[in-house]
Amino acid sequence: MWKKCIILIGILGFTPILFQYISLLPIDNRPIRPKILDRTTHSINENLDNLINPGFSVFEYEEAKLQEITLKNEYDLTAVLLHWNRLEDVQNMTQYLLHTHLFKQIIIWNNNPNINLTFHHLKINHSKKFIRIINSDENLKDEAKYRACAEAKTRACFYVDDDWDISHYLKSLIASFLSDPNLLHSVTDASTFYTNLVWSYFDTNIDLHSGFSWIGCGSIFLRQHAQKHLQLVHKFLKNHTRKKSHKCNRLKKIFLFIDLIPFSDVFFSIWLNNIPVQINTEIRYRPPTSDESLPLSSSFSSWLPFLHLQYLSSVFAIRTLEHSLRFNQSKSTDITFSRRQNRRFPYYVKSSSLDDDFIFYTNILPFEIQNISFNISRDFERGTRRNLPENFNTKYFLLHSTSKTIDDDLSTCWYAN
């Protein structure tokens, strides 16, 4: 009874059109259409007065189901995994992805030039026709995932780092993507969700409407976006090194000669120039398994200038986008960055249930991101760690996050007021 109560309370905060999202959930042999839809279908066919009616006619509901099937057939998915040093984690993730039967192809990009990764390493004796292994001559860091997606046979790619448990939101993420395929869809927790909203940029005068999202916990994006991203990073970042200055200290000299291409994740969502769709839910970290059989080396994030270069990447990403949009306003032939918003629906928050069987939607965001002013001369550091939201700004949202609507804990019941 209390579950129905929570769902009803949440609906009061919805805009009616948002229910159309839910009707676009993917179909496979194990139905993943959310429970709220099953109840809605029941109410339409049997008893309209006693159960929730989302405001759509039977015809509109059937049309949405047909569109769901069309989109599912049009946007098959390729799963992308990166291997560097955690072989057992890649093995486990590969087996899990195979067992879901949700992917047409799995591409494993080996970023470790010290080994030639084979099916023998993965301990896979079947389904080889679904898996492709690409061995790189060098560690391409972040860029590798976009290289792998560019090689996909499908129109879209799913990516996840191998140390996250995706079992409780994978199908919800796919459903989210199918509702609006032209956008980046990702999963994160409440704190990072809030931060990513802060790291948004709007300027209607130059068609700037961009936002940031980390993609490692699980994300889906179009292959064409990965291909375009590779073109952009090599256009703007390949020659981004500068000659050293004799006045610089030793550490600064290092910075001047580092390529920013390995930090591709910092640029990807910003240069799409569309606010990403993010699922705000619980994320579960799986401690990595050490691989004693492989040569060990320090991780990319433990490298001395890592945080500084991440900062430089964040600043350069928005500066490049803003300058290009402003400089090329009258040049209709310039398509370096997209000017058109591809979003089909308003901005909203999504949270998937703990069983990955329905999605909670609301158009009540922590704040109206599009109403926050942006000026490149003073706000260029907005998307950096120097602009992380303070705890007193995020406390209320974290305590009343939409993810608490579906956590089976009545003490954290979320409500709209």
What's the pTM value of the predicted model, to 2 decimals?
0.81
Helix/strand/coil for 294: coil
Per residue in 318-351, pLDDT tens?
A: 999 999 999 987 665 566 899 999 998 889 899 9
Q: Domain segments of the chain: what residues?
A: 2-74+169-236+266-281+347-412
Residue numbers in the chain where pLDDT is lower than 70: 1-56, 126, 239-258, 289-304, 330-335, 413-417
* Token output for 179: 């509702």
Q: Can you give the pLDDT at residue 338?
A: 92
Q: Can you give the pLDDT at residue 407?
A: 82
Alpha helices in 101-180 (DSSP H): 119-122, 143-150, 170-179
Q: Can you give the pLDDT at residue 302?
A: 60
Q: Can you give the pLDDT at residue 297?
A: 52
Nearest to 221 by CA among 158, 141, 277: 158
* Alpha carbons within 13 A on the beta-carbon side of 103: 28
Burial (CB count <10 Å: 0-12, 13-18, 19+), residue 13: buried
